[in-house]
Amino acid sequence: MNIPIYQVDAFTSSVFGGNPAAVMPLAHWLEDRQLQAIAAENNLSETAFLVAADNAWELRWFTPSTEVDLCGHATLASAHALVQHMGVQQPELVFATRSGNLSVTHSHGSYLLDFPAYTLTPDAVDVAVCDALGGMASEVWQVEGTCKKLYVFEFEADVARLAPDFAALVAASAFNVIATAPGDECDFVSRFFGPHVGINEDPVTGSAHCALVPYWSSRLGQARMSARQISERGGRLDCTLQGDRVFMTGEATTYMVGEVSLPL
């Protein structure tokens, strides 16, 4: 069995930036253990699997260790693969996922993602988590319905200098951490630490912005914002909050096209 594979750098206009994802279109769903084994072999933060279904595509996302409920960069990468490599022409693509139907609209190399906005509830600052991160947060918010918490810092430099002890972070909390602060040259910056899902630091995390955008929209009193994820690879997003939806705009570029050979 030979399966096409496209490795796409998402939320960037040039290779070696943004967040890499593997996109693999399937004729039909394989067993979950096979999907997980492929994702582990790819060893990227996310592998997206697609199966065509009527006027949409069923879409699932796997880290090297588990399936996740929502992934922004691999959704963008999937749209890019469909448009640039699989001959899809329609301007709006619809994906059926564990988080409901998600749409991506594309125009002139730019992709607009329509995602759900998460609800945030205030939480106590966990000193053990801050010690593991290497910096003291001023606020903490639980991201409802997820295994994420939002840790808010005073300055961009505070987030940039975090150097987590990931073993200590796993021991201190069952939650992955979104670290954020006001940006020096944008509205806000962030980093995402996900050791519980097999990703110590994710380069650019669309799903984290489903929490970040509602938070910063409320704090800044504006619906449209510019964001940077200040990982080593880095990425930029333009974000808008409309009701209970978060819209994220980004670019993508193909790094590699290939084929995976599996035993029947």
Q: What is the CA radius of gyration of the chain?
A: 18
Out of 46, 156, 201, 251, the active site residue is 46
Distance CA 229, CA 204 (A): 6
* First-to-last C-alpha distance (Å) of the chain: 6
Question: Contact, 242 vs 217, CB < 8 A?
Answer: no
Residue with the two structure tokens 């490795």 = 7
Distance CA 43, CA 21 (A): 10
Residue 258's CB: how many other CB atoms inside 10 A? 11
Distance CA 200, CA 164 (A): 9
| Pair of tokens at residue 12 | 């960037």
Clarify whether 46 is annotated catalytic: yes
Residue 107's CB: how many other CB atoms inside 10 A? 9
CA atoms within 13 A on the CB side of 43: 1
Helix (H) or strand (E) holding 26: strand 19-26
Residues with catalytic function: 46
